[in-house]
Amino acid sequence: MTNDLIKLSAQSVNLWFGSKHVLKNINIEFQQNKVTALIGPSGCGKSTLLRSFNRMHDLLPDVRIEGKLMLEQQDIYEKNTSVTQLRRRVGMVFQKANPFPKSIYENINYGLKINDVPKEERDGIVEKALRESYIWEEVKDELQKPATRLSGGQQQRLCIARTVALRPEVILMDEPCSALDPLSTLKIEELIIKLKKDYTIIIVTHNMQQAQRVADKTVFMYLGEVIEMGNTDDIFNNPKNELTGNYVKGRFG
């Protein structure tokens, strides 16, 4: 029953912001229908790596990327790759919940319009996405309310719903719970575990417990390099590298 398909991979990836070498020779693979946690001290390049998989760096002027990033058989940075198509397949949930200053409904509907989903299907998709993100019961009577009036946890689940609505294959999450209270955090973790049967999920987290609760695989990064990756259990209980051990035991960070 194990599905070992490699969904996403990086081969000898180097990245510079101006003259600053931020990602150093990254070689990594992410398996389909697994949750992989990216951990490591602040500034080690977790967000940068995550964002290179949906080409968010395209928006910045001074970025140089070398090496190969692949979504299954497709080269992410190849000339003919449509970046808008790519972002539909590789969705992203950001560190700070960032709903549009529009209604709850419109927050999800926006992506549907952008991607030419026929009008008559949209209501159904919006509802389904909200249900899948476990926020439907809380907002079903006020879909026209501004999304900015929701609580932080609800906003983040709405942002997940916005991503899920487009049926991406991969969901990238950059510290999705860092601004949330423990209860909202637990809700989102449950959601992540449920989403994994349909999606490949990569989650950056600073929370070691969270990584152990949600992730099948864990990748430890340090100063722009991948130091160790493997099953979450092994990384936390049997690290091969001394740095990894020190980090997961909270000796630095």
Partner 1 sequence: MNIAARENFDKVVKLAIRSTGLIVIVLLGGIFFMLLYNAFAFFLKVSPMDFITGTQWTPSGKLASYGILPLLVSTTLVTIGAMVLAIPLGIGTAAFISEYAGKRLKNILKPAIEMLAAVPSVAIGFLGIVIVGPFLAHLIGQPNGLNALNGAILLSVMALPTIITVTEDALRGVPNSYKEASYGVGANKWQTLIKVTIPAAAPGILAAVMLGIGRTIGETMTVLMATGNAQAFPHGFLGSVRTITATIAIETGEVPYQTTHYFALFAIATVLFIMTLAVNIVGEYFVNRFRKYHSA
104-133: contacts with partner 1 (CB under 8 A): 110-111, 114-115
Residue from the set 17, 94, 134, 136 that interacts with partner 1 by CB under 8 A: 94
Query: Shortest approach of partner 1 to residue 234 CB, angstroms?
Result: 32
26 phi/psi in degrees, rounded to 5:
-85, 125
H-only helix segments in the chain? 46-52, 83-89, 104-114, 119-132, 136-139, 152-164, 182-195, 208-214, 232-237, 242-248
| Nearest by Cα to 130 from 109, 115, 148 | 109
Q: Which two tokens stand for residue 206?
A: 């600073």
- The nearer residue to partner 1, 16 or 110, going by C-beta atoms, is 110
Q: Is 37 in the site for ligand ADP (CB under 6 A)?
A: no
- The residue number whose beta carbon is nearest to Mg ion equals 47
14-53: contacts with Mg ion (CB under 5 A): 47
Q: For residues 113 and 110, what is the distance between their CA atoms, to the nearest angstrom?
A: 5
Binding range to ligand ADP, per CB under 6 A, among 37-45, 113-121, 144-152, 242-250? 37-45
* DSSP three-state, residue 113: helix
Q: For residues 170 and 53, what is the distance between their CA atoms, to the nearest angstrom?
A: 10
- The nearer residue to partner 1, 150 or 166, going by C-beta atoms, is 166
* DSSP three-state, residue 210: helix
Q: Is 154 in the site for partner 1 (CB under 8 A)?
A: no
Query: Shortest approach of ligand ADP to residue 218 CB, angstroms?
Result: 15
Q: For residues 214 and 5, what is the distance between their CA atoms, to the nearest angstrom?
A: 20
Give the position of tokens 């319009």: 113
Q: Is 22 in the site for ligand ADP (CB under 6 A)?
A: yes
Pair 105, 127: CB distance under 8 Å = no
β pairing state of 170-174 and 74-75: unpaired
Name the binder of 45 from partner 1, Mg ion, ligand ADP, none, CB < 5-8 A by kind.
ligand ADP
Pair 111, 166: CB distance under 8 Å = yes
Query: Shortest approach of ligand ADP to residue 126 CB, angstroms?
Result: 31
Name the binder of 87 from partner 1, Mg ion, ligand ADP, none, CB < 5-8 A by kind.
partner 1
Binding range to ligand ADP, per CB under 6 A, among 36-44, 100-108, 144-152, 242-250? 36-44
- The nearer residue to ligand ADP, 63 or 86, going by C-beta atoms, is 63
Q: Is 64 in the site for ligand ADP (CB under 6 A)?
A: no
Q: For residues 220 and 37, what is the distance between their CA atoms, to the nearest angstrom?
A: 8
Interface residues toward partner 1, by CB under 8 A: 54, 56, 59, 61, 84-85, 87-88, 91-92, 94, 96, 98-102, 110-111, 114-115, 159, 162-163, 166
